[in-house]
Structure formats: structure tokens, C-alpha cells
Structure 1
Amino acid sequence: MTPLMAGLIGFVALFALLALRMPIGLAMILVGAGGIAVLNSPSAAMNVLGAFPYSYSAVFSLSVVPLFVLMGAFATVSGMGTGLYKTAYSWVGHRRGGLASATILSCAGFAALSGSSIAAAATMGKVSLPEMERYKYDAGLATGSIAAGGTLGILIPPSTVLIVYALLTEQSVGRLFLAGFLPGLLLTLLFVGTVIIVTTLNPAAGPTGPRTPLKERLKVLVNSGALVFIVTIVIGGIYTGVFTVAEAASVGAFLTFLHALWSRKLTLQRFFAALLDTIRTTAMVFFILIGAHFFAPFLALTRIPMNLATSIGELAVPALAILLIIIAVYIVLGTFMEGFAMLVLTVPIVLPIITTLGYDPIWFGIIMVVVVEMGLISPPVGMNVFVVKGVAQHVPLGQIYRGIIPFWIAMAVCVFLLILFPDIALYLPNTMMGRG
């Protein structure tokens, strides 16, 4: 059997297993090990199966995953999400569409601690949706702002998706975190701008709320100081080189733990629940990474990525055109494939093409994450949409999708701006001091 034929059979087998709802990590392990056995030898496959999962799980750099997940879990326990919403609400709630804008701003703040789009959408949905319904907000705008705002969780650092991308591509986690910061702020502003446009065209979609007195605004702003302090310490420490990423993660987890104790919301039951949630998420991420590192050597043996990159490099087509085609393919894949699955399956194939075209892999990683975000709110999968639907069970799914369309367009604008001005993503990592 030729390597190319083995590769094609491996892809068909992989998608068949995924269609049967097998976990992607297990599917990649089975296909990768089987492919190595065919193209190399059964003993080589057994050696990899016996040694690699443990040796890879024991790599110190992977400690950032459970530490950042734990930081988000403690932030949730301490009620930071609710506090963030109250702060944003007090400052912008009196403007047209202010409650939707407050939801997006609080999602951005919560993203800086949780690193999870689903956690951000679920937390903010429970807090903000009742308020928007109380002021008669359009259901599409209300649910769309929650679903879209939640996607910021995988772009604004710390982000589990960025960590996975860094490990798959052997890039610096710290540089990727810094690269995601300004694009995350840009996308937040684009979302807020989307709310302003929607409510300007249809004022009834987002009525104004009550004006909060300045004294109360300052009070809630001070109460949110813990978030600003923790984010400044974590991201600032990485940028200045004071901390490695692993050290920043441990400091962030410890500070959110102290805040949860100080808030008196960290009961023994919630403490163990936070640990259990961290273990579950970490196990899921590790399983996917281990599977990806079984599948990648199999792909290397087939030489499909290298041959594809060589063929594309020889085409008389501008690099930008190829990049736009890749982005378009990702957008289509995002409509039916879960973000993590899309990431681990395609990065080993696409990265050689991107580097052959001369693009920066750090910059492309941010582009890719934004496109994955688009998939999180695209039908028919749209994971964030179903999270919001769970919170707003009385809102028809079609109405939620209609409310998401303007925010999806805002994401497309963000991708366009990142292509036009790469320094939006590359300025901070290129000026960082020390190593990530």
C-alpha cells in the first residue's frame, strides 16, 4: 500500500469514527497507531502506544492547562462574572443597547480569567438574559450578544485553544497569548459597535436602562479591581518576562483562589467541584493532544502535508488568494465540526502550507481562532448557540441564529482587519521581553 493511499484510507476511517460519535482523541489514537503499524511496523505502533501517552502527559509545559482551567473555576466560584456584569451595566446600561454591550464587555472580562467560551456564555447568559428580558430587549439581540460575547473566551488570553495550538505547532504559548490580546480587544469593540448599529437601525431592539449614579458606578468599579489586578499580574508578568507562562498560570490560580476565599463563597463543596471540573477539562484536553500526536506522525509518514505544501507553493497563485481559500474552508468546516476537532485535525496539514507561503504561524493562529469562534455560532453545530438555548429555552433556535448574524459579520470584519494589518496580532509578541 502506498503512503498516499494509506493516508486517504486513514482520513476516511477517522471521519467514519467521528460520525459514530467516538471521542476525537480516541479516534485519532486508533487511526494514527493503525497507520504507523501499516507504514512502519506493528512493533513501532505498540511502542508508541505503550510509552507516549505517559511521557507526553508528564511534560512540564502542559501544566499551564490545569492551572489556567483552575483559575477560571475559582473565578466562577467567587462570582466574578456577576460582578463584572454589574460593573459594565452601571457604566453603559443607560445607553441604547447598553445591556447587550454590558454583556459583551463582561464576557470579555470573564474570558481573561476563564479561557472558555462555553463557560463565558453560560455564566453571562444566566446573569444578563433576565435583565435584558425585563427591559423588553429583542430576543435575537439579547441571545446573539451572549453567544457572540462568549466566543471571546477562546481568543482573549489565557485561552485553552491557544495553548492547544501552541503545543500542536511548537510555538510559544506566551507569544500566542500576547498575540491574542489586541485582537480580543478589537473584536470586543466590533461587537459593541454591532450592538450600536443594530439598536440605531431598530431602537426598540435595545431600550435604554436606568442611569446609575456616579457614586454607585465607582463603587462597583472598585469591586471589580480584583479582576483587573489578576489580569495585569498574569499578562503583564508574561509580557515583561517576570514570569514564564507556567509561573503566570500558577500565580493566577493562587490569586483567584485567595479572592474566592475572601468573597466567602468558596465552600468545601464548591472547592471540590472546582477541582473536579478542572480534572475533567484537563483530561479532555490531554486526551485530544495525545491523539493529535499519534495522528501527526502517521500524516508525516504519508507525506500528504509536505506534498500538498510543495504543490501549492508551485502554483502561480498569489499567497493571499490561497490564504483566503483556507479561511473559507475553515468557515465551512466550522458549520458542522467542533472547534477542537477542527483544530487538531487540520493544523498538521495546513501549517506547512502557511509557512511555505511565508506567513507567520503566530499570526495565523490568531486568524484561525477567530474563524473557530465563527464556527461556535454557526449553524448547525454552533456550540455556543446551544449553550444559550439551554439558558433561554423559550427563545426559538431560529431567532437566536438570526440575532447572531450581525455578530458573525463583525467577526469576518475582524479577520479582514487582521489580514490587512498583521501588527494587530504581532505587535505585542514582537516587543515582549523574555520568553513565553
Structure 2
Amino acid sequence: MSLLIILGLFLILILIRIPIAFAMLIVAAIYLVGADISLKLLAQKVAGGVDSFSLLAVPLFLLAGFLMNTMGITDRIFAFAGAVVRHIPGGLGHVNVFASVIFAGMSGSIIADAGGLGTVEIKAMRQAGYRDRFSAAITAASALIGPIIPPSIIMVIYAFVTEVSLGRLFVAGIVPGLLMAGSMMLLIYFLAKTNREHCPVLPRATFKEVVTTFYGAILPILAPIILVAGIMSGIFTPTEAGVVAVLYVLVIGVFLLKFRLEHIIDATAEAARATSATLFIIASAAIFTWIVSTANIPQAFSELVSNWVSTQFGVFLVIIASVLVLGMVMEGIPILIVFGPIFLTIATNVGIDPIHLGIVFIMTMMIGGITPPVGITLYVVMAIARVSLPDFMRSIWPFYFAILAVIFLIALFPSLCLWLPNLAFG
């Protein structure tokens, strides 16, 4: 059976809202039957698709994020962020972004950020007089920082697919993540100063309040420093960092909060649901990726791009444009697994570092999370803020340009993401 027919069927299944994992399994089964290949290969590829030690980090970082939410650690993070930046024009908009930066250093999950920290952020912004649609836009955009600043679940999957160093990838995301936060805060400041958005400014926190909230949030703030330092020094691997993150959150819960067994039960249940969905997509994509690779699509696409583009930035433009379009119809993980090897082939042909590619690829892919009609983060935040899609889109579009500006900056200047891992690992 023609591969074009298979890809067309796959697109149709996605458009009629068949879950992405089932769509890949259906077209893979049809292709194997049409090619007279035993369906045993389907079972073998699916089972082998998640047979990797590095993927153990996925449920661990998810669990750390959900534990932070159920134990109330997110409230302490938000309180400290508010004490530091709430008086700047833009007020709680800056607090929203700053809190996401801190939260990202422990979770690495966009859903944990949007669903947990986002609930706290939107409630506070509503009480302060912000419009719900603007609060939702900032919350959704700032949640994208989570997968960029280490640790990051999506980076674990990228390293698994492309076989690059996860430690280097983690460290490479620090500066781009901070640049994303900076671009969003500049945008919020501009919107506030020009009265394009109603941004009530809260009074400057007293020194006592800053110290008090800092004391309550000191352990969560230290988490990213401990994790990154441990990875860079070789004390533990990036996968083992997931265990450290979970244990660290539990220690915070025992010593700082009213720790209850229900916290672990609820967080474990949430993490189990998110992990099963994530790994099922990864497993299903294994056979689909095999079909794409055996049909020599990566090589054919690479040759096509090479005939038209010969510069590194030109290749990045092709990849960024492709990922933005794919993000409208596919979730991030399937895009990464299916198209990651294809883009890697194209990038290496023009000398692009795989780590540099990974940062640009992941940052672009995250935009799909807030792009209709597929963006999961989009619908999570809309449900929390109780806003309609048209209202949400009216406030979110400036953040697209702020994020894209950082992506193009990283693409043009590789040292922004490579100098730190080169300094740390040589």
C-alpha cells in the first residue's frame, strides 16, 4: 500500500479527533497488512518503544510536579514571587511568569504548571482585578517555560529519540528559558505602560514580607540549583535526578507543610494517568516512526530541503515553520518522536549541533501547546479561567511573537544555548 495513502489516512484520523496514539496504531496496522508483514512486528515495536532507562525520568518528574501542587508548595512559590515583583508595572503578570520560572526548576511539566500553579495564579489575578482572558493568556504562555528550564520531561524524550546527552541538553535550556521569561515580562510591562491591558499594581512588599515569603519558598527555590549542580558534577545522572526531585519534594512536605498521606495518593494517581498517556503515545509512535524511516522519508525530505536551502538559519526557518504547522494538528510528543529524527538528519547535514537543534525544536514545539485546535495547555487554562476561545486568542497572540522572537534569537546565535553546556561539560 502506498505510503502517501497511509499518511493521508493518518491525517484524516487526526482531523476527526481520533486520539493520536490510536491513529498511529491504526495506520501502522493497515500498512503492515497491506505490505504483507506480520502484525507481530507491531507488538514488538510498541513494546520496545518504551524500553529505555532514561524514560524512567518521565513519571518521576511528573510525580514531583503533582506533589508540589497537592502539598501547597505552589502557593509558597507564588507568594514569594509576588513579594519580589508585584509592584512593577504589570503587577501580577510578572509574578505569574516569575513563579513559573521557579516551578519549572522542579517539575519540567507544562501540564503540572498550567493545571497546578495556574489555578493559584488565575485566582489571585482575578481577585486583583485583572481580566480573565489576560490572566489566562499569561498563565498559558508562562507555562511554556516549564519544559525549557531543567529538568524537562520533553527533553528526556528528545534525548531518547536522538541519542544526545541529556545532561548537556538540560543545561542548554537554562539561558533560553530565562530569555523566554524576560521577553514575556517585557511584553507585560509594555502592555501595562501603554494601557493596552488593565494591570493593577499592588503595593511594594515590605522587607519583612520579602524575608518571610523567601523563608517559606527557600527550599523550592534551591531545587533547580541542587538538580543542575548534581547533574553537572556527576553526582547523579539526569534520570536519577528524577528520584532526587521526588525525594526533595517529600522532604519539603515533611518539614515545612502539614504532610498527609492523601497528598502522595492524589499526586501518584495524577502522575500515573499522565505517565500512562505519555508513554502510550511514545510506544505507539515507535512503529509509526519505523514505517516512516523504512520508506526513506527522512532522506528524501533532507534532499528536498538541501536543494532549496544551504545555510543553517535557512534550515532552522524550514524546521520552525514545519513545527508550527504540525503543532496545529498534532501534540508535541508525536511531533518529536516522528519528525525529530527527520529534522536531525537535515540539521546535521549543514553542521547544526544536535543540542542547538533540540532547544530550538522544543521551544517551537511548545507553541503548539497554546495553539488551537489541538493545544492541550490552551484548554487546561481556558477551563481554569472560564474564558472562551475567541477571548483567549485576543489576549494570547502578542505572546506568540514574544516567544518566536526568542526562538529566532537562539537560532541565530547558537552560543546562547551552547556556551553553558560547553563550559560545564567541555
* Shorter-normalised TM range: over 0.9
Corresponding position: 1:411 with 2:403:
yes
Question: What CA distance in whole angstroms lies between the structure 2 residues aligned with 1:70 and 1:316?
Answer: 43
| 1:259 counterpart (234, 249, 252) | 252
1:12 paired residue number: 8
| 1:26 counterpart (8, 19, 22) | 22
Corresponding position: 1:212 with 2:208:
no
Offset of residue 35 of structure 1: 3.4
Offset of residue 284 of structure 1: 1.6
Q: TM-score, normalised by structure 1?
A: 0.90
2:392 paired residue number: 400
Letter in 2 for 1:420: L
**Residue 251 to residue 322, structure 1, CA distance change in 2 (3 Å):** closer
Letter in 2 for 1:25: A
Offset of residue 351 of structure 1: 2.3
* Alpha carbons 1:25, 1:292 under 8 Å: kept: yes
Letter in 2 for 1:262: F
Corresponding position: 1:371 with 2:364:
yes
Letter in 2 for 1:173: L
Letter in 2 for 1:42: I
After TM superposition, the structure 1 = structure 2 runs for residues 289-328 of structure 1, keeping only pairs within 5 Å, are 289-315=282-308, 317-328=310-321
After TM superposition, the structure 1 = structure 2 runs for residues 268-287 of structure 1, keeping only pairs within 5 Å, are 268-287=261-280
Question: What CA distance in whole angstroms lies between the structure 1 residues aligned with 2:258 and 2:42?
Answer: 43
**Residue 293 to residue 223, structure 1, CA distance change in 2 (3 Å):** same
**Residue 433 to residue 359, structure 1, CA distance change in 2 (3 Å):** closer
Deviations 1:187-216 (A, max 9, x none): 011111111111111176212112221011
Question: What CA distance in whole angstroms lies between the structure 2 residues aligned with 1:382 and 1:18?
Answer: 13
Offset of residue 235 of structure 1: 1.3
Deviations 1:61-83 (A, max 9, x none): 22111111121122222212111
1:225 paired residue number: 218
Corresponding position: 1:42 with 2:37:
yes
**Equivalent residue pairs, number:** 426
Question: What CA distance in whole angstroms lies between the structure 2 residues aligned with 1:141 and 1:59?
Answer: 41
* Alpha carbons 2:191, 2:197 under 8 Å: kept: no
The percentage of counterpart residues that share the same residue type is: 32
Offset of residue 171 of structure 1: 1.8
* Alpha carbons 1:78, 1:259 under 8 Å: kept: no
Letter in 1 for 2:125: M
Q: Which consecutive residues of structure 1, in runs of 5 or more, have no partner in the other structure?
A: none
Offset of residue 265 of structure 1: 4.0
* Alpha carbons 2:54, 2:156 under 8 Å: kept: no
Deviations 1:314-345 (A, max 9, x none): 44654422421331222223234322233233
Letter in 2 for 1:236: A
* Alpha carbons 2:94, 2:185 under 8 Å: kept: yes
Q: TM-score, normalised by structure 2?
A: 0.92
After TM superposition, the structure 1 = structure 2 runs for residues 73-84 of structure 1, keeping only pairs within 5 Å, are 73-84=66-77
* Alpha carbons 2:109, 2:147 under 8 Å: kept: yes
**Residue 262 to residue 431, structure 1, CA distance change in 2 (3 Å):** same
Q: Which consecutive residues of structure 2, in runs of 5 or more, have no partner in the other structure?
A: none
Offset of residue 285 of structure 1: 1.9
Question: What CA distance in whole angstroms lies between the structure 2 residues aligned with 1:253 and 1:305?
Answer: 38
Question: What CA distance in whole angstroms lies between the structure 1 residues aligned with 2:265 and 2:63?
Answer: 11
Offset of residue 411 of structure 1: 0.4
Offset of residue 55 of structure 1: 4.5
* Alpha carbons 1:81, 1:124 under 8 Å: kept: yes
* Alpha carbons 1:90, 1:217 under 8 Å: kept: yes
* Alpha carbons 2:59, 2:271 under 8 Å: kept: yes
